Structure 1
Amino acid sequence: MNTLPPPRFQFRLRVYRDAGIAIGPGKIALLEAILQAGSITAGAKQMGMSYRRAWLLVDELNRSLSEPAVESATGGAHGGGTVVTEAGRELIRRYRSIEAKAHAAAADDIAAVTALLAS
């Protein structure tokens, strides 16, 4: 008997400004990785992306917000550092809250769609 893994439902909220994505799942995941790893470099590595790509995403996110989500300090005796600001932490919390609420609101429909899937 061939049993498939259980289905996984994922909400992918994106906030667009003009043609670009101001806030999306990749930028939130990158913020979380930076928060956990303590730097853009380490966060990018954790996510399997180049530093340049991560920096561009952070820059685009910061330019989209009224307050920066990430602040970087350069130089100094111990080198630079990266901090996810309180605005960045709030953005992560709110984004994840929206996902959780959407998932909870759709629970009955998710169950119905799951029942329609082959097992």
Structure 2
Amino acid sequence: MQDVKLKLQLRILLNQDIAFGPGKAELLEEIRRTGSISQAAKSMNMSYRRAWQLVETMNHSFQSGLVETQKGGTHGGGAKLTDLGESILSQFRQMEIKARDAIEQDFEEIAQHLKQ
């Protein structure tokens, strides 16, 4: 029997740019977990430069930033999600659940017609 899965990816576009999507959501979750853009990037096998670019895109796409950074020094730097960042991440994950739930039955009906 074939393995049939539904892969649903939501993206929020601002003009032509992806303001927010599953990759950025994962990056925010890793920043929350590690307290660091560098460590978040490392855990995602992403360059620090790319992670920083994604954070900058998110921070400039919303009315206020989603990630707050603290410069390094004696005690090291760090990063954390702002209240808006936490809210956007939570709302986005809820949107993913609602979208999946809304189409699950249709997917199952289509999956029945796939070759085994």
Structure 2 unmatched runs, 5+: none
Question: 1: CA distance between counterparts of 2:10 and 2:72?
Answer: 36
1:85 Cα deviation from its structure 2 partner:
1.3
Moved over 3 A (4+): none
User: 2:69 is matched with which residue?
Assistant: 72
Structure 1 unmatched runs, 5+: none
SS at match of 1:88: helix
SS at match of 1:116: coil
User: 1:97 is matched with which residue?
Assistant: 94
Question: 1: CA distance between counterparts of 2:86 and 2:7?
Answer: 21
Question: 2: CA distance between counterparts of 1:4 and 1:36?
Answer: 36
Question: 2: CA distance between counterparts of 1:10 and 1:31?
Answer: 21
Q: Write the letter of the residue equivalent to 1:107.
A: E
Q: TM-score, normalised by structure 2?
A: 0.92
1:8 Cα deviation from its structure 2 partner:
2.1
Question: 1: CA distance between counterparts of 2:59 and 2:96?
Answer: 22
Q: Report how many aligned residue pairs link the two structures.
A: 116
User: 1:108 is matched with which residue?
Assistant: 105
Q: TM-score, normalised by structure 1?
A: 0.90
1:11 Cα deviation from its structure 2 partner:
1.7
Task: Among all aligned residue pairs of Structure 1 and Structure 2, give the percentage whose two residues are the same amino acid.
Answer: 40
Question: 2: CA distance between counterparts of 1:117 and 1:33?
Answer: 36
